[in-house]
Amino acid sequence: MSHTEQEMRYLELLRDRYGTISEASAEVAHLRAVLQLPKGTEHFLSDLHGEHNAFLHMLRNASGVIKLKIHDLYGYLLPKHEQDMLATLIYYPREKLALLKKQGMVDEEWYRLTIYRLIQVGRTCAVKYTRKRVREAMPRDLGSLIEEMMFSDGSPEKEGYYQGAMQSILDTGMGDAVIIGISEMIQALAIDRLHIIGDIFDRGPRADLIMDALENFHQVDVQWGNHDIVWMGAAALSDACIWQVIVTSVKYSNLKSLEVGYGISLRPLLMLAQTCYGDDPCSEFMPRDSGDQADGEDAAEVARMHKAAAVLQFKLEGQLLERHPEYEMDERRLLHHIDYDNGTVEINGKTYAMKSCHFPTINPENPYALSDMEQDVADRIAMEFAHSAKLQRHVQFLFSAGSMYLCCNGNLLYHGCIPLEEDGSFAAIPVDNVADARGRAGIDAAERLARQGYFARLGSHERQVGQDFLWYLGCGPKSPLFGKDRMATFERYFIEDKKSHEEHKNRYYELQDDESTAVRILHEFGLSDSGFIINGHVPVKVRKGESPIKAGGKLLVIDGGMSKAYQPVTGIAGYTLIFNSHVLNLVAHQPFVSKAAAISDEQDIHSRHSVVKRMEHRLLISDTDEGRTIEGRIKDLMQLIQAYQSGELKEQRG
């Protein structure tokens, strides 16, 4: 069979890598073998909200996977405290080694026994992978040595060889390095792919440290959350997003991510607050306890910063909404509905008394205009966001590794919702130049516009439209990431009547337990009834008897409340999912105590596994999306071999 001209151009490119029949045939043999390996383990986490210590611990212990492997190996051979010590050593090898040495626990025999046990755990983690993949997980300088020990066949002929290798490790003082190297290899092999179902940012102390870890993880994807998208908009230099980020940070008295992590100084805001609100108690703006308030932080000063930032936010959002009547959010422009003399505000035809009406920077004749000082502060802080190299790098990572949703191995992953009308039909998302942006088509169009907001030429109309839409995705009524009719921030600050604070969830959340709706959503994204929707965003209130398993088992909500701010309500510290070649497991977690307690007292996160689905047969890579990609590569290579054999293409040696 002859190939078309276009096919030949592709095969010529492929020849640059596989220049001979032998090279192409060897790769086909390798890929066909890979298809028969067990499917790698996927780890799903959601709503991290800056809780870096809990997240990093879950990453190290793979939501309990490593401890389960230790139990499978040593459950009947070692007492529990020795299993716990081995697990902690794998999670925190450097710190645990230092502590054990200080306690006088480490001697030559301990090294021998511990390295042997770690090798055994490493082997159980490596069985799913090619030798190349395992080698890549090893430290470069010790890889050859660890590889020899990992793949020992136990033959008597080599017993002296391995004993000599072990003795050399001890004689040269390499025991610590080998233990650290094997432990980090186990961490890397325990999870093949990490899925983050949104909301890395806000509330908790150090979202930037979470982002550092994600950047360095071997295979990760992110489905954007409403909190993430606002930070992405801030990095894109949307003024409305910048001030929403700042308001959320000061609301929780949590400035570490901004100031320490990203080097963004809020001193201009502090000066504005002191100048304009120095005599204002700002009682409505006292910060919430994030659980990580900085030592010596003056709550009253933070409250003044909070109010100054909130007023800026209301003004900038009002300007944005005037530009976009298609968002249908004009009722959120409230500053021109305030009666500044009488201290009242009219909202949806009803007049409310305000708890405070002290707005020294607002001109009632033009309430959405920034004062000269506010404009100067806004410009200076925008420059801080623009010049934060770490923030820009992290946001670029979110754009490259992230998306609004992901179809992966038959499952549909997204953070918020698929917006629905009251009748249950797919709702239209207000995207420019798309006539009927509903369902998957609407979310695809929304993602394109979000990317335009960051990557279009700065100063262009396209960039402005995209920046504004990034803000809409964070709080708009038809946003797939938000899922409510409004964000009643103004009302919560200024109005006593709690009825005015109500925010109504999208119809999607009323239909979360409806199996037919879940199946319809799966079909909309080209997936079958056998798949699952994996969702975050709304904490599961376990204390009130809520279940994370909904829609007849088709929809799994894995926001159980990793954020400390949610835990009194949820009664739990997060759900995660583990999807390996045998089962899909839902894992419920209790709160993380501290890294220090984990190391010194071996206090792991207490996790309870429950099976959501047991596979009918052990899944292989051939059953996955990766397998279908590999099968496509095999087909291409077979065409290349055929072109060599038919004389259409000559081999390229050397």
465-507: per-residue pLDDT in tens?
A: 999 999 999 999 999 999 999 999 999 999 999 999 999 999 9
Nearest one of 221, 332, 247, 262 to 625, comparing CA atoms: 221
Separation CA 271–CA 141 (nearest Å): 52
Strand duo 533-535 + 555-557: pairing: parallel
pLDDT of amino acid 61:
86
Query: What local confidence, expressed as pLDDT, does residue 606 receive?
Result: 65
pLDDT value at residue 564: 63
Distance CA 65, CA 583 (A): 12
- Show Cβ contacts of residue 167 under 8 Å, excluding neighbours closer than 6 positions: none
Q: Contact 71/133 with Cβ under 8 angstroms?
A: no
Q: Domain map of the chain by residue range?
A: 5-37+623-646, 60-190, 207-490
Q: Left (φ > 0), alpha (ψ -120 to 50) or beta: where does 618 sit?
A: beta
Low-confidence ranges of the chain (pLDDT < 50): 290-296, 571
Q: Cα–Cα distance between 511 and 542 in angstroms, integer?
A: 19
Give the count of beta carbons closer than 10 Å to the beta carbon of residue 548. 21
And the tokens for 627? Answer: 């397998």
Q: In 10 A of CB 126, how many CB atoms?
A: 19
pLDDT value of position 164: 79
* Helices and strands (H and E) in the chain: how many: 26, 15
- Identify the pLDDT of residue 318: 97
For residue 349, give the DSSP letter: T
Separation between Cα atoms, residue 342 and residue 476, nearest integer Å: 31
Residues 6+ apart with CB under 8 A from 502: 488
b/e map of 242-264 (b: 16 or more CB within 10 Å)?
Answer: bbbbbbbbbbbbbbbbbeebbeb
Distance CA 433, CA 528 (A): 31
Report the largest interatomic distance among the alpha carbons of the chain, rounded to a whole angstrom.
Answer: 95
- Averaged confidence pLDDT in the chain: 90
pLDDT for the residue 208: 95
Tokens representing 175 are 């025991």
How many CB atoms lie under 10 A from the CB of residue 140?
9
User: 153 exposed, middle or buried (CB, 10 Å; 0-12, 13-18, 19+)?
Assistant: exposed
Segment holding 412, helix H or strand E: strand 411-414
Q: How many Å apart are CA 121 and CA 140, to the nearest integer?
A: 20
One-letter identity of residue 582: H
The residue count of the chain comes to 654
Instruction: Give the separation between CA 225 and CA 228, rounded to whole angstroms.
Output: 5
Coil, strand or helix at 38: strand
> Cβ distance 447 to 403 under 8 Å?
yes
Q: Does the model's pTM come out above 0.75?
A: yes
CA distances from 506 to 417, 426, 473 (A): 8, 11, 14
